Structures are given as structure tokens and as C-alpha cells.
Amino acid sequence: MSPNPHDDLRAHLQTCEQALLDPALRRDRARVSELLTEDFLEFGSSGRIWTREQILELLETEDYKPPAMEDFKCALVADGVALITYRTVRTDAVTSEKATTLRSSLWTKESGTWRVRFHQGTRTSES
């Protein structure tokens, strides 16, 4: 265990966020279910609002190439509540154009387990 418990939390939640970007995990409904609270909600980068059930259904069937994760930050905002922020970058294989999305997740600790309650993606004009 590291000297700073916040470092351990940051590392754990970064691993969880990266897992949610992994195509194999995304298709595994049971594993994704373990990471999402029952009242999970997402504001997608498309502008669409997604419920837990809609996300579980989508991820089971999507064709997905994971983006790169950059600038990961973790802030403990209350006991058992962490705000995660980062950006994802996708590079188009044909055009080499980059698409950047700012991302934030609110994680809560329930019965000793961290689960994501809310996620938002916002597309940027960065290249």
C-alpha cells in the first residue's frame, strides 16, 4: 500500500475507467454491471442521455476501438465520493484526424465497492 491512500484510490479508479474502455469488458454485461450503480446515468458526447439498462444493452453489441486516455485526475469530493476527469483521444485510421472528448465520472463507494454513478463525455474542438 502506498503512503498516500489517495494515490491508491486514484490508481484503482483509473484501472476501473480503463477497464470500461476495454472492448472485451464492455461486451461482458455482468462485469460492466458490477461497475455501474443501479441508478447510473450518462450524458453522452453525442448529446444523448443513457440509463444503466441502455448502456448495458449498447455495450454488449457495439463494435468499439478504445481511445487513448490522457490527463487522468482524481479528486475526493466527500467521504466515499470521487470525481474523475480525463480526456480521450481517437485517431481516425484513414484520415489521421484526432477527436478529443473531455470525460468526467462520479464514483461512489457502496458496501466497500467503488461504482460509477454518473459519466459525461463532451466533445472538444482540440486536434
* pLDDT tens column, 31-75: 999 999 999 999 998 899 999 999 999 999 988 889 999 999 999
Question: Could you tell me how far CA 67 lies from the centroid of its own chain?
Answer: 11
What is the residue extent of each domain of the chain?
Answer: 5-123
* 71-120: pLDDT as tens digits: 999 999 999 999 999 999 998 888 888 999 999 999 999 999 999 999 99
At 84, which helix (H) or strand (E)?
strand 81-91
Residues 120, 121, 126, CA angle at the centre, nearest 5°? 150
Predicted pLDDT at 111: 92
C-alpha cell at 34: 458490477
C-alpha cell at 115: 461504482
Query: Which residue type, as a one-letter code, is found at position 63?
Result: D
Residue 47, SS3 per DSSP: coil
The rounded distance, in Å, linking the Cα atoms of 121 and 88 is 9
What is 5-123's CATH topology? Nuclear Transport Factor 2; Chain: A, (3.10.450)
